[in-house]
Amino acid sequence: MYTQALDIHPQLATPRVASADEHKQAQFEDTINREGKIEPRDWMPAHYRKTLVRQISQHAHSEIVGMLPEGNWISRAPSLKRKAILIAKVQDEGGHGLYLYSAAETLGTSRDQMLKALHTGRAKYSSIFNYPTLTWADVGVIGWLVDGAAIMNQIPLCRCSYGPYARAMVRICKEESFHQRQGFESLMVMMQGTPEQQAMVQDAVNRWWWKCLAMFGPPDSDSPNSEQSKRWGIKRISNDDLRQSFIDATVPQAKALGVSLPDPDLKWNEERQHHDYGSIDWDEFWATVNGKGPCNKERLATRVKAWDDGAWVREAALAHANKQQARQTKEAA
């Protein structure tokens, strides 16, 4: 029977036109796959934006909370030289916080919002800064091991797919590597000193070693964010791989320093071409992350006080900026 209907072969049918959103998504994925950079004005999936704000703001909070354990020693540094170095280092950490808050602001979240999340305990910051600095040797160990772990984690972030974060990290990593060397050098001097000074360094290493290994985050099998972050080129190397690289790099440094690392299971594995190591206390890590570490309350209270005490400075700066803007507008009119 004849009919007006035409049977169109599926391949000859008019192709479905991609929606504007699908086009943007494809462009975004293409940039990621080409190892290009996503910039603030580019379209990006909401989850990519949210992940970046989470990670960058946590990182910024870690920098400014990280000023506190070392800052406690500025007034007690053993010489003018060490005091000047420590002031400069703590100031650098404050600067890192500022670069990072600025990078996160390009994603549309204000600094006030981020700080509110920190001050109300909703935001995380690195677990490592919730432990006390009991002796001067702790300051050197923070430089050597904490900054050393930070560099290991942060060098790959210089290749992060989000442009402003990647660029901030280049400068931060240069400064962190100086911090690490000054920490190592100050410990080297102590290790050439009296038996009491040597014991002080060993005690500090014993207390910080395991906390530094936990800094890299939970094992890959328990890391909910890793897979997606790696796919998006935010994270380049996994938590466990970075931890392993840090251990492998630190063992010879400890030997050069003349200290032992507090892990009876730490030994070279010829087959793996890496060091084996003992198990990390993840219960203790999570308790600290969730607010129950030895210094969580003190750290947060200090930050909140600094924010409240600085209100008049912010108000004055804002009033000055408004006055200048009004003057410029008047002159332009």
Q: Which of 31, 82, 86, 147 binds ligand BYC (CB under 6 A)?
A: 147
Q: Does 223 bind ligand BYC (CB under 6 A)?
A: yes
- Return the sign of the alpha-carbon dihedral for residues 48, 54, 55, 56: positive
Q: Does 186 bind ligand BYC (CB under 6 A)?
A: no
CA distance 144 to 138: 10
The residue behind tokens 């935001």 is: 123
Is residue 173 a contact partner of residue 155, using CB atoms and an 8 Å limit? yes
If the CB atoms of residues 198 and 299 are measured against ligand BYC, the closer one turns out to be 299
Closest CA relative to residue 73, chosen from 145, 11, 142: 142
Is residue 97 a contact partner of residue 63, using CB atoms and an 8 Å limit? yes
Which burial class, exposed, middle or buried, applies to 66 when counting CB atoms under 10 A from its CB (0-12, 13-18, 19+)?
Answer: buried
Q: Which of 180, 229, 250, 296 binds ligand BYC (CB under 6 A)?
A: 229
If the CB atoms of residues 66 and 198 are measured against ligand BYC, the closer one turns out to be 66
Kindly write out the interface string for residues 59-88 of this chain, putting x where it contacts ligand BYC by CB under 6 A and - elsewhere.
x--xx--x----------------------
Site for ligand BYC in 10-29 (CB under 6 A): none
Which DSSP string corresponds to 76-101? G-SSHHHHHHHHHHHHHHHHHHHHHH
CA distance 99 to 93: 10
Q: Does 225 bind ligand BYC (CB under 6 A)?
A: yes
Is residue 152 a contact partner of residue 246, using CB atoms and an 8 Å limit? yes
Question: ∠ at Cα 86 (200, 101), nearest 5°?
Answer: 120
If the CB atoms of residues 36 and 219 are measured against ligand BYC, the closer one turns out to be 219
The residue behind tokens 């938590």 is: 239
- Return the sign of the alpha-carbon dihedral for residues 155, 226, 229, 111: negative
Q: Which of 71, 140, 148, 218 binds ligand BYC (CB under 6 A)?
A: 218
Q: Does 226 bind ligand BYC (CB under 6 A)?
A: yes
CA distance 246 to 208: 14
Q: Does 238 bind ligand BYC (CB under 6 A)?
A: no
Q: Which of 28, 37, 38, 55 binds ligand BYC (CB under 6 A)?
A: 55
If the CB atoms of residues 198 and 215 are measured against ligand BYC, the closer one turns out to be 215
If the CB atoms of residues 290 and 325 are measured against ligand BYC, the closer one turns out to be 290
Q: Which of 135, 161, 239, 296 binds ligand BYC (CB under 6 A)?
A: 239
Q: Does 133 bind ligand BYC (CB under 6 A)?
A: no
Q: Does 57 bind ligand BYC (CB under 6 A)?
A: no
Q: Which of 141, 146, 152, 173 binds ligand BYC (CB under 6 A)?
A: 146
Coil/strand/helix, residue 121 = coil
Residues that bind ligand BYC in the complex, under the rule CB under 6 A:
54-55, 58-59, 62-63, 66, 93, 124, 126-127, 146-147, 150, 153-154, 215-218, 223-226, 229, 235, 239, 289
